[in-house]
Amino acid sequence: MTRAEWMFVIVWIINLIVSVLYYLWGALFYVPARQQQDKDEAEYLHDNRRTYLIRVIVMVLCPIVGPLFFLVSHLIYMTIFRQEVDLEDVIFSKERVKTHAKADEERERNLVPLEEALAVSDKKNLRMLMLNVIRGDLQDSLESIALALNSSDSETSHYAASVLRDELNDFRVNVQKIYTDMKEEKEEQTDAETMLIDYMKRILCQKVFTEIEQAKFVQMMVDAAESLYQKNAQLVTPARYEAVCLRLIEQKQFDQADVWCERLAKQYPEELSAYTCRLKLYFIKGDKEHFFAVMDQLKKSDTIIDNETLELIRVFS
């Protein structure tokens, strides 16, 4: 054998001895020590005997290069990746952050009111508009989506029917669940009442249910408002009062509407809704005396008037 061949054999034997010693140290001493430590401390993922066996095979097949590779990798791990992480500037907070997403200008530029789009004869654009509406906040668009049920385009009406069915079914289930929770509440609890009123007023104002079902839901909202009023009248905000009053007026339940309008006027006398709810009630009832009396009170008050109410005053003045 030549000198070079002898050198190769010697190096290979030394490499084999190092590899075997490495495996014996890892499999017989390191792994059992780690397993014993894990019994006393939190479980942690460590190298097992199979890992050391695979490394030994690589080291035997790749003399010098294999051991050097694992040695350098271990040194890098110990010197760089094993360092403590500085979390001083990191804050873990459970507070919700509202993300402001960039507006989709191309989509917004092509949006028009759905009521106008239904008259468009271009079915492709109508379907695209319908899909854009579905991608948005559906709960505030149910009334417009309901108009699409009568569309001449079968696919558009199918979109509308599917959306309405799912949304209204979810509404029925959620309302019944919250209403049941309200009945089981303790005397001092008011969470179910406030949740039910706020949830229902967004949907019921769009009048997407049949008359019988609409009347049923309105009565459930009135029950929740009455329960909240008896427990803590301060939680019945002007917006909640107005929602109850308007739904009762729509149902022509004038006696109940009168009670809630008077409660609103008594608790929040300077709110604009305290006047507008009574004006709408007396106008639909045909009670001219009380209608003009409330209008005179509104004129003399310091309440800020919106454009709609201002136009009403101009018409009847």
Provide DSSP, 78-133.
IIIITSPP--TT-----S-----PPP-HHHHHT---HHHHTT---HHHHHHHHHHH
Longest dimension (CA), the chain: 126
Separation in Å, CA 272 to CA 107, 138, 161, 194, 276: 36, 29, 37, 22, 6
Q: Residue 124 pLDDT > 90, yes or no? A: no
Q: How confident is the model at residue 43 (pLDDT cuts 50, 70, 90)?
A: very low
Q: Residue 264 pLDDT > 70, yes or no? A: yes
pLDDT above 90 covers a percentage of the chain that reads 32
- Distance between CA atoms of 205 and 211, rounded to whole angstroms? 13
Mean pLDDT computed over 268-295: 92
Indicate the domain borders of the chain: 3-77, 165-316
Contact (Cβ atoms closer than 8 angstroms) between residue 32 and residue 49? no
Query: pLDDT value at position 109?
Result: 46
Q: Residue 134 pLDDT > 80, yes or no? A: no
Separation in Å, CA 94 to CA 89, 91, 98, 166: 16, 10, 12, 32
- Distance between CA atoms of 137 and 133, rounded to whole angstroms? 8
CA angle (169, 175, 180) in 5-degree steps: 130
Q: How confident is the model at residue 4 (pLDDT cuts 50, 70, 90)?
A: confident
Query: pLDDT value at position 7?
Result: 83
Contact (Cβ atoms closer than 8 angstroms) between residue 170 and residue 194? no
Q: For the whole prediction, is pTM greater than 0.85?
A: no
Q: How confident is the model at residue 44 (pLDDT cuts 50, 70, 90)?
A: very low
- Distance between CA atoms of 203 and 138, rounded to whole angstroms? 10
Contact (Cβ atoms closer than 8 angstroms) between residue 229 and residue 271? no
Which carries the bigger pLDDT value, residue 266 or residue 206?
Answer: 266
Quote the radius of gyration of the chain (alpha carbons, Å).
37
Structure token digits, residue 10: 């010697």
CA angle (178, 183, 187) in 5-degree steps: 115
Q: How confident is the model at residue 227 (pLDDT cuts 50, 70, 90)?
A: very high
Structure token digits, residue 2: 């030549």
- Let me know if domain 165-316 sits in CATH 1.10.10: no
CB-neighbour burial class of residue 261 (10 A; exposed 0-12, middle 13-18, buried 19+): buried
Which carries the bigger pLDDT value, residue 128 or residue 42?
Answer: 128
